[in-house]
Structures are given as C-alpha cells and as structure tokens.
Amino acid sequence: METPSRVEVILDKIYNDPANPAGFAGVNQLLIEAKKKDKRIRKKDVIEYLEGNRTYTIHRPRRVRFKRSRTMPAGYLTDVQCDLADFQKLSRQNNGYNYALVSIDVLSKRVFAEPVRTKKSKDMVPAFENIFQRMEMLPHRIFSDKGTEFTSKEMMEFFKQKDIEKFTPNASTVKASLAERCIRNIKQRLYRYMSEKHTLKWTEALHKIVNA
C-alpha cells in the first residue's frame, strides 16, 4: 500500500473537515485553503486529489446556467434572500427535521441556516428568530418565492412586527436565485460529508459548513 504524499495528507485534512471553508467543497476553494498550508500546491494537485475522491465524484452536479435578474443591495444585510432546502427523505435520521431554512445576504454572500421540521409558521417563525439572533442587524428586505411558508398570514405579520419588507417575484418561475444556488452548494457539501462519514445526520454538520 502506497504511503500518502504530504500534499495528499494536507488536502485530505482540509477536505474532510466540515468546519473548514473548503470542507467537502470544490477545486477552487480547496486550492485557496491548501495554499495557506503549502504555497507549492498546484491546481493540478487539487484536481487529481478530488478526481480520486469518491465522495467528490459521486456528488458532482451537472451545471445548467440560466440568465437571472440581479438584485442590487443598498448595503450589508439590507437585502436577504431566503429559501428552503428539502431533506424530507432523511427526516427520520434527523429528529424529524425535514428542511433547512437558508438565508443569504445579497451584498456579502454571508449565509445563515437553521433546521426546520415543517413549513408551518409555528416552525418557520422560531427558525427565523434563531437566524436573526445571529445577524448583527435585522434585514430591511427579505426576498423569497411565493411558497406559503414565507407568505402565509402569520409569516407576513411576523415580518411586519420586525419592520421587515417582504418581497416575492411576480413571475411564478422566478425565485430567489442566489438562495437557490447557495442551497445547491450546501446540499452538495452535506451529501459529501454524509458519504465520507457514513451517516445520514445532515443536521450535525449544517452549522459547521455554513459558518466555515
């Protein structure tokens, strides 16, 4: 059996740490973090490492690019996009949590996430409260799709009490595109984490990956 090279050891330690910004991520993120450990590591080294990593290759997405209208924020945490990541198939292994509420600041791209059991306001309100507690200030505006988990009477009243403007797109096919892309990235990293650790408990790694 071949002894792993120093480069492989460095990459392996970074990639398999969910609390690292490059944990279970892609080529560019892993290269950035690896160069902090050894400036001699090349992009070619990272690509070769990832191509030989089963958790990376089996969860590699097919990329389809669409034109999206851009949201122009006024400042930090003025405009936040929200969406739900669906984990219903793994509910039993995660104490009944079916979704992750994901919020992303449009300007800084900073991400906040919280596990949610249902789409009902009794679960969505506490999830938003937990996210707001981790923000330095309340957002001025929240953008989401037209799902009732964001637009129900109870949720609209909640946003009103917080003095937050709630926006939904007019076109039924247009959603919070930034939040959608963020969710794809989070789910990809979580599934790689679960494959590597042989677990189905995404809730135990969600905050580590988001805060990395």
| pLDDT number for residue 202 | 97
Mean pLDDT by 10 residues, the chain (212 residues): 71 87 84 88 85 68 50 79 96 98 94 97 98 96 93 96 89 64 93 94 96 86
Q: 129 with 98, same domain?
A: yes
**Which residues are CB-neighbours of 81 under 8 A, at least 6 positions away?**
71, 103, 104, 106, 142, 143, 144, 176, 177, 178, 179
Rounded (10°) CA dihedral 189, 16, 127, 149: 10
CATH of the domain at 133: 3.30.420.10
CA-nearest of 130, 136, 137, 133 to 115 is: 130
Q: 100 with 164, same domain?
A: yes
Q: 99 with 18, same domain?
A: no
Prediction pTM value: 0.74
| pLDDT number for residue 129 | 98
Q: 53 with 88, same domain?
A: no
Q: Which domain holds residue 24?
A: 1-60
| pLDDT number for residue 60 | 59
Q: 121 with 32, same domain?
A: no
| pLDDT number for residue 86 | 96
